A = this chain, B = another copy of it.
Amino acid sequence: MAEENSLGSVDVSQSPAERFEEFLQSRGKRMTQPKRQLLDQVYSRHEHFDAESLIEQLPAASEAGHIGRATVYRALKEFVEAGLLREFKLAGRSVYEHDYGYPQHDHLYCTQCRELIEFQSEALLELLNSVASEHRFRVGGHRLIISGVCEDCRRSQRRSRKPVDMV
């Protein structure tokens, strides 16, 4: 089970759905139609998204297969707990990305086009560990976002939206 993406391929032994099932069982939780549908949606594309954009992709309130707002939020939380998605806060709301079977990485955030660009740096991880150990701090995780302007936006001076100030 190999995937191509911007940071290379990773082999995983279980599909996200299988892993999720396992998680649910281990917690006495249940697999349901809405969860299945959301999991599919979330894994249909490899990109960053937030609750709102996920909801927009779903059938409208009147249509069949519609899923309530609260259910979406509850499912996202479960996916994060299950290790399927990684969550971080950006400009006030939660942003999600694939975690399961995908390598750890950090982000460059273009405040002009609001694109998130992923990067990996082994040196960074080592540095963080050494900083932490100087403070006798046990690292649980980290969050790093470098904000600025991406190459495309610098060149085209394009501003699809007014830039955001704080990240």
Contacts and interface: CB of A to CB of B under 8 A. Distances in A.
A121 B144 CA distance: 14
Interface string A130-167: 01101111111111111111110010000000000011
A93 B139 CA distance: 22
A166 B135 contact: no
A119 B146 contact: no
Interface of A: 80, 87-89, 92, 108, 110-111, 117, 119, 121, 123-124, 127-128, 131-132, 134-151, 154, 166-167
Contacts of A135: 108, 117, 119, 150-151
B132 A121 contact: no
Given A121-B131, A140-B147, 14 more contacts: A80-B166, A89-B92, A108-B132, A117-B135, A124-B131, A127-B127, A135-B151, A137-B149, A137-B151, A138-B148, A138-B154, A139-B146, A140-B149, A141-B147
A141 B148 contact: yes
27 contacts: A89-B92, A89-B167, A110-B137, A117-B135, A119-B131, A119-B134, A123-B127, A124-B127, A124-B131, A131-B146, A135-B150, A136-B150, A136-B151, A137-B146, A137-B149, A137-B150, A137-B151, A138-B148, A138-B154, A139-B147, A139-B148, A141-B146, A141-B148, A141-B167, A142-B144, A142-B146, A143-B144
